[in-house]
Every structure is written in C-alpha cells, then in structure tokens.
Amino acid sequence: MLKVLIVEDEIQNAEELLLLLGTWSQKYHVAGILRSNKELRRWFDENQAPDLMFCDIELLDGNVFQTLKENIVHCPIIFTTAYDSYYQQAFDSTGIAYLLKPVGLQKLQAALDKVAQLGLDTRQYNRLDVLFEALNKAAKNYRERILVNTAEGMKLISVKQIVHIETNEGICLITYGNGVTYTIRCKISELYEGFDPDQFFMINRGEIINVEFIEKIEPYFNDRLAITLKKHAKKVITSKAQTPAFRKWIS
C-alpha cells in the first residue's frame, strides 16, 4: 500500500486532494497531513520517508523550500501551488512534477504519471538542487498575467492593470482597470510574492494596491493613511504596522 504524506496548510485543499486520491486508487495510506515547516521538520526527525509526498509551497510559517534544503528527502515529491508564477517556469525547466490549484483528477493523474515515468530514484527525480537554481534564475521575472474567474469562465488578465486586491475567506477579489471585479481562489500572500514590488504594495494583511492607480493619500486615525484609488469605489486604509514601510515605499 502506498504511504502518502500531504503537506498543505489549508485543510480544505488537503481534504479535496484526499478525495481525488480516493478516486484514483484505494491502495494508499495517508501517513500524515502537515500544515507548517515546523511540523514537517519534526516529521522528518521522527519518521521514515513516505512513498510519495504532496507538498504545498507556501505554508503557515513560510516557504517550504528552506526546510527541503535542510533535509534529504528520500521520496518523490509532487509540489502544489495556487498560482502559475515563476514556480511553474522552474518546474517545467527541471521536469519536476507539480499541480496547480484547484487540483482536478486529470491534473493529478498527469502528475502521478510523471512520477511513474521517472521511477523512485529520488536522486534523479527530485533534483531539488537543480530546482532551487532554476528558482533563483526565475525569481527576477515577475508575473505578467494571472488566470481569474469570470461569469463566462476563466480569463487571463494583465497584472499591470490590477488596481486593488482584497482577500475574503480564501478568495481574492481583484478590481481591474476597467472597473470589473474578478475572483481567484488563493492566498493573497502568494499573489503578492509574484508581483513587482516597485508597482504593488501590501498595505495591510488583506489588501494589495497598485501605485499606478493611487489618486490621493490622506492622514487617517491612529497614524494610518487613507488611500483613494482610481476605479475603486472605497478608500483603503494602511495598517499601523505597514504605514512606515508604505511611506518609505511611496517616496
């Protein structure tokens, strides 16, 4: 029976992956569901390697790659990510299997087929050193487009025309330059990591703004700032913690 380890900080995503695995095969056992780098390090210390590992990239306490650098992983890894930024470029260039969320049965089957083709020689399969090198090379290439949901289906939009992003229960609401609001299911921090920091700023834990659409900045209660954006109906407010960094960024 295949022993599977799932590293995923969002319980709903882990449960959806389990359902898909059950559709794919009943011959597997879940060795654990981990949500943080801390839990993953402890698991490596206390357990033998699983047969297969599904690993989210952005966990509760940060990016998983540092943990993987510090621990020799003796099993194939299928990475999962909620967006197709430079991670996808790096995976494509190294041949390492990955899944873009939301995960479907067809995507899962393709990733498992890749694992089967490469076999269980983890020295050849994981090639994490090659992946990290590819990520470093691609890190300077900020994402230019994202795939969003519309009433008619999925649509590619230009990142440069994004006015404002706000998160609401795992859904990011994107105000676009034409005044239309789009949605995408992912963590706002994941989107922000792929954006050009000269153009976008996270003014609080739940909102990102585009400098090109700032119309007015005013003092606000408790040493914060109120920002008026073009094409966005309401003012947005910086958090007290982010206000000093925003002042420096905008100047």
Residue with the larger pLDDT of the pair 74 and 197: 197
Please name the residues in contact with 57: beta carbons below 8 A apart, sequence gap of 6 or more: 63, 64, 65, 79, 80, 81, 87
Q: How many domains are there within the chain?
A: 2
pLDDT at 124: 46
Q: Which of 107, 138, 169 is the last residue of a domain?
A: 138
pLDDT of residue 28: 83
pLDDT, tens digit, 9 for 90 and up, residues 39-97: 999 999 999 888 889 999 888 888 888 888 887 777 888 888 875 555 666 676 666 77
State whether 89 and 181 are in the same domain: no
Q: What is the CATH number of the domain that holds 133?
A: 3.40.50.2300
% of the chain exceeding 90 in pLDDT:
41
Final residue of a domain: which of 80, 104, 138? 138
First to last CA, the chain: 59
Q: Which secondary structure element, helix H or strand E, spans residue 175, and what is its range? A: strand 171-176
Final residue of a structural domain among 138, 171, 192: 138
Does one domain contain both 131 and 182? Answer: no
pLDDT of 85: 57
Q: Is the pLDDT of residue 128 over 80?
A: no
* 134 and 152 within one domain: no
- Shared domain for 88 and 155, answered yes or no, is no
Task: State the residue range of the domain holding 210.
Answer: 145-250
Residue range 17-33, pLDDT digits in tens:
988 988 877 678 899 99
Is the pLDDT at 144 greater than 90? The verdict is no
* 70 and 179 co-located in one domain: no
Whether 133 and 154 map to the same domain: the answer is: no
Residues 120 and 154 in one domain: no
Residues 239, 215: Cα–Cα separation, whole Å: 19
Angstrom distances, CA of residue 130 to CA of 69, 72, 91, 134, 205? 11, 14, 10, 6, 33
Q: Could you tell me if 22 and 75 lie in one domain? A: yes
Q: For residue 244, what pLDDT is reported?
A: 92
Q: Please tell me whether residues 12 and 97 are part of one structural domain.
A: yes
Residues 10 and 133 in one domain: yes
- What CATH number is associated with residue 216? 2.40.50.40
Task: Specify whether 123 is located in the same domain as 149.
Answer: no
What pLDDT does 125 receive? 47
Claim to verify: residue 99 and residue 123 sit in the same structural domain = yes
152-180: average pLDDT:
93
- What mean pLDDT comes out for the span 172-190? 92
**8-22, 96-110, 115-129, 217-231: least confident range:** 115-129
Which helix H or strand E contains 202, and what residues bound it? strand 200-204
**pLDDT-based confidence at residue 101 (cuts at 50, 70, 90):** confident
